[in-house]
Structures are given as structure tokens and as C-alpha cells.
């Protein structure tokens, strides 16, 4: 899972390492395998990380990670196609000290800059500081699987970010409940505002929307910009393919997706909900890993919890809603 936290500020005396430590301490449950921090020479950039080790368990994969004596990265998530990307980047002259996907992300940024996100297959939330250009680049995956919350004080020219709201509160951001979001959650179960995707349950804190990246330039000014890098294309014409071709394409995509997610340096497991999707995943994993047929599976139940379907089935047959 991992936890990331950072402070970007124009005044190096405003916030210190102890503020960052409070943020990473609040994220300790996200990363029990390691803790690290980094601070720029000017004291205007502070990065913190809590690590959950999945790929490359060595110290070479520890974060914050420096690359090419220019870039610093903190990352939460996993890039599933990192093996393929690493080979492509090697052909372009890039070298690697670790076997982790985090180093591939930062090398991809060095090569493609902001277009690097177009190459990633995965779930991610990361921040990269460019020491040469004095610029922050942060991005979130296409569907927002990994979180990225931030607080921007325009008057003080200070930007804080973290994997959870509580990390920002721990460092001193004043809590301000967003009652509109709370009302929507309690009445219709919404945890997001479709019309304002950056909105959170705290009025002072926003989140980087899915499929967006963020940049902060501080070389001669403090400017925060946010851009969307991906969206579903709904204008394409339907594919004219046969059922057999559709089955073959889906099978290839499904198999590739599962094989990439099986890359791990720790034991693997998967969840079973009783549905077709999770059962298909377990069946495919078992088929692919014939040498390890005893796959660890997990299911979650909540005693006393009744689904809407079960509740409706208990209504009397003659029950009618009043209009």
C-alpha cells in the first residue's frame, strides 16, 4: 500500500522536518516495512515515505529514491508493466540500480517527462522533484485507485500533500467538515462529487482527481497547475468483429493483466466474493501457476449485515410503494 507525504514551500523556515515526521507517523499503518525522508538543500522541499515492500525487498528500493543525481521520487502503488518499460528504457540508455517499479517511473519521467503517465499500466500516486528545474510533478492513476490529498496555502506559497487526510491534519491543517459531502454520503452513499472531483470531506483539503497530473514551478515563482491526461473515448465506432475474435481478444487481455499482477517478491493471495469476476481470476491464476495449485484466497463476511437483495426478498408479496 505505502504512504507518501510532502511539503513544497517558498519559505524554508515555515515548516521543518518535524512537520513531515508527523505526517509520515500518521501513515505508519500504510507502510510497516520502512520509513524514509529527504529534504532539499534549501529546505523548500520535504519528502516522506512509509514503505510496504512488494517488489524488490532490498534497501535499493527504499524511498525517497534519488535518480541520476537530479530526481527524487516517492511512490504509492504498482506499475504492472514495469518489466517491459525497463527494457525499453535500457535501450534508450537508462540504467537501474534496483529491480523496483519505482525506479522505472522516475526513469520514464526523465525520458518522456509528463507523457510518462501514458505508458503506465497500473495503480499509482507519486511525486517527483526535479532538482535542476526546481519543479514538482505528481500524478494519479486513471481511475484513482491510489489517493493523493493536498492543501495549498496560496498566501504563504505552501503546498502539502499526503496519502490520507489524517496526515495533513497531523501536520497542522485545520479541520473544516464539508457538510454537503457528508449529507450526500449519508443519504445516497456518495464519497465523491461528480461535478467537482477534487472535493473532499474537508473544506480545506482537496484531492488530485483520477487521470490528472499536477505541476509546481518554484524556480522564479510558485505556480500550481493541474491537467487531465486521460479520458475514456466514447466517440469511436463499435468494432466490427466476430464473437470468436472478441473472445480471443478478451482472453489475451485478461491473461496478460493477471500475469502482470502476479509479479511479486512476497507471497500472493486473492479475494473471492462468490461472483463471476473473482472466480474467473482465481481460475486463471490456478491455470497459469500449475506448480503452485494451493493459491491463498480470502473472503470477507460481516455478521448481521444484510444486502439490499436479501431485504427486498423479505418484503410481503402484496407490499406496494406509495407514490
Alpha-carbon distance 49 to 28, whole Å?
Answer: 9
- Residue 48's nearest CA partner among 40, 60, 39 is 39
- Residue 163's nearest CA partner among 208, 112, 133, 100 is 208
Q: Are 185 and 192 in contact (CB under 8 A)?
A: no
Alpha-carbon distance 117 to 138, whole Å?
Answer: 10
Residue in 1, 2, 165, 214 annotated catalytic: 2
Alpha-carbon distance 311 to 31, whole Å?
Answer: 39
Hey, how many other C-beta atoms are within 10 angstroms of the C-beta on 289?
14
Residues pairing with 9 in the sheet: 158
C-alpha cell at 285: 491464476
Alpha-carbon distance 256 to 84, whole Å?
Answer: 12
Residues pairing with 173 in the sheet: none
Catalytic status, residue 2: yes
Kind of pairing between the strands at 206-207 and 149-153 = antiparallel
- Residue 151's nearest CA partner among 178, 125, 169, 126 is 169
- Residue 105's nearest CA partner among 134, 73, 132 is 73
C-alpha cell at 11: 519559505
Q: Kindly give the residue spans of alpha helices, DSSP state H, lying in 31-100.
A: 82-91
According to DSSP, residue 192 is labeled: S
| Active site positions, annotated | 2
Amino acid at each position: 500500500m505505502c504512504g507518501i507525504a510532502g511539503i513544497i514551500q517558498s519559505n524554508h523556515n515555515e515548516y521543518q522536518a518535524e512537520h513531515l515526521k508527523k505526517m509520515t507517523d500518521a501513515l505508519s499503518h500504510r507502510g510497516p516495512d520502512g520509513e524514509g525522508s529527504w529534504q532539499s538543500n534549501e529546505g523548500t522541499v520535504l519528502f516522506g515515505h512509509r514503505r510496504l515492500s512488494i517488489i524488490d525487498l532490498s534497501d535499493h528500493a527504499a524511498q525517497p529514491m534519488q535518480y541520476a543525481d537530479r530526481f527524487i521520487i516517492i511512490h504509492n502503488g504498482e506499475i504492472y508493466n514495469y518489466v517491459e518499460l525497463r527494457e525499453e528504457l535500457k535501450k534508450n540508455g537508462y540504467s537501474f540500480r534496483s529491480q523496483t517499479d519505482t525506479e522505472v517511473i522516475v526513469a520514464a519521467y526523465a525520458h518522456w517527462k509528463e507523457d510518462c503517465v501514458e505508458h503506465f499500466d497500473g495503480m499509482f500516486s507519486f511525486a517527483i522533484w526535479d532538482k535542476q528545474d526546481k519543479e514538482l510533478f505528481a500524478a494519479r492513476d486513471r481511475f484513482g485507485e491510489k489517493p493523493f490529498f493536498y492543501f495549498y496555502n496560496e498566501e504563504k506559497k505552501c503546498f502539502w500533500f499526503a496519502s490520507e487526510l489524517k496526515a495533513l491534519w497531523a501536520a497542522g491543517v485545520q479541520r473544516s467538515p464539508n457538510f454537503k459531502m457528508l449529507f450526500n454520503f449519508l443519504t445516497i452513499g456518495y464519497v465523491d462529487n461528480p461535478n467537482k472531483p477534487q472535493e473532499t470531506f474537508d473544506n480545506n483539503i482537496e484531492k488530485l482527481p483520477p487521470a490528472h497530473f499536477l505541476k509546481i514551478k518554484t524556480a522564479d515563482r510558485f505556480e500550481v497547475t493541474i491537467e487531465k491526461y486521460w479520458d475514456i473515448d466514447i466517440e469511436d465506432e463499435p468494432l466490427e468483429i466476430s464473437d470468436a475474435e472478441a473472445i480471443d481478444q478478451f482472453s489475451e487481455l485478461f491473461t496478460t493483466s493477471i500475469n502482470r499482477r502476479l509479479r511479486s517478491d512476497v507471497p500472493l493471495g486473492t479475494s473471492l466474493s462468490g461472483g463471476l469476476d473473482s472466480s474467473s481470476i482465481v481460475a486463471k491464476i490456478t491455470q497459469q501457476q500449475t506448480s503452485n495449485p494451493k493459491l491463498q484466497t480470502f473472503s470477507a463476511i460481516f455478521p448481521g449485515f444484510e444486502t439490499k437483495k436479501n431485504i427486498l426478498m423479505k418484503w410481503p408479496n402484496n407490499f406496494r410503494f406509495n407514490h
